[in-house]
Structure 1
Amino acid sequence: MKDAEKLAAFCATIADERKADNIVQLKLADISTVTDFFILCTANSEPHLRAIADTIVRDAREKLKVRPRKVDGKPASHWIIIDYTNVLIHIMTNEMRELYQLESLWGDAPTVSAIKTLRKKTPA
C-alpha cells in the first residue's frame, strides 16, 4: 500500500506540474478490489492530454522504476487511462469528465487530495 500511495502522490504531482486541472486522488483500497487509488484530472486539449500521459509514464519509469501494465485510449478519444494495477490514472477532457462523472461512482471513497488548479487565463 505504501508503494501505491507513493506512486499515486507522484503521478498527481506530475499531472499538476503539467498543468492538469481539477486533480482528485481517491483512495479505493478499503472499498474496492479493482485498485488502491484513482487519480482523475482534466486536460484542456488533445495535445495537453497526450503531454500529461506521456510525462507521467516517462517520469514514473525514470524516477520510480515502474512501468504501467497498460495505457489505454488516445487523445482523439478525449480520455487516456494509465493502469499501474494499484493506481489508475484517468486523464480526460472536461467534456468527458462531466459526462462520466467518475467521482460520483466512487462517492464512498475518501479523497486523499484534491488539487484545484483551475488556472486564471491571462490576457494575451
Structure 2
Amino acid sequence: MTTLSLFELAKFCRDFVLEKKALAPVILDLRGISTVSDFFVICGAQSEPQLKAIAQGLEKTLKERYGKQPYAIEGFPKSHWVIVDYGGVMVHIFHEEKRRYYALEELWGDAPRL
C-alpha cells in the first residue's frame, strides 16, 4: 500500500469531502503553530445524514485504499460535529450552524489556508 505524507493525507481528505458535497472545505496548516496537529481539514454539512456519510465514508475509504485507520473518532451526527483524528491530520465535519458558532477558522486565524 502507498503511504501518504501528512500534507498528502490532508489534501486527500479535502478532496474526499468535496466529492461528498461538503460545504467550503479548507485545510489549515498548523505546523509550527500548534502541537495538537499539523493540519486541520474543516468542512460543513447540511444535515445529520450527510455529516454521517462524510465521516463514515472517509474512514472506510482511507482504510481500504491506504490501510489508514483513525486514532479516534469523536462526536456523532446528532451533536452536529464529528472529528476524525488521524494524528497529524484532524478532519472536523460540522453542521453549518455549528461551524459558524465554533469558528475554528477564526480561532486559528494565523494558520495559513492551503
- State the TM-score bracket (shorter-chain normalisation): over 0.9
Structure 1 position 106 matched with structure 2 position 93: no
What does residue 39 of structure 2 align with?
37
Structure 1 position 76 matched with structure 2 position 78: yes
Q: Normalising by structure 2, what TM-score? A: 0.95
- Show structure 1 runs of 4+ deviating over 4 A: none
Residue type at the aligned position of 1:8:
A
What does residue 68 of structure 2 align with?
66
Alpha-carbon separation, structure 1, partners of 2:42 and 2:32: 18
Percent of aligned pairs with the same amino acid? 45
Q: How far off its partner does 1:98 sit?
A: 0.7
**Please, which runs of 5 or more residues in structure 2 have no aligned partner?**
none
What does residue 53 of structure 1 align with?
55
Q: How far off its partner does 1:37 sit?
A: 0.2
Alpha-carbon separation, structure 2, partners of 1:47 and 1:68: 20
Alpha-carbon separation, structure 1, partners of 2:64 and 2:12: 12
Q: Normalising by structure 1, what TM-score? A: 0.87
Alpha-carbon separation, structure 2, partners of 1:76 and 1:17: 22
Q: How far off its partner does 1:64 sit?
A: 1.6
Q: How far off its partner does 1:30 sit?
A: 1.7
Alpha-carbon separation, structure 1, partners of 2:25 and 2:90: 13
Q: How far off its partner does 1:65 sit?
A: 1.4
Alpha-carbon separation, structure 1, partners of 2:108 and 2:87: 17
Alpha-carbon separation, structure 2, partners of 1:86 and 1:111: 16
What does residue 94 of structure 1 align with?
96
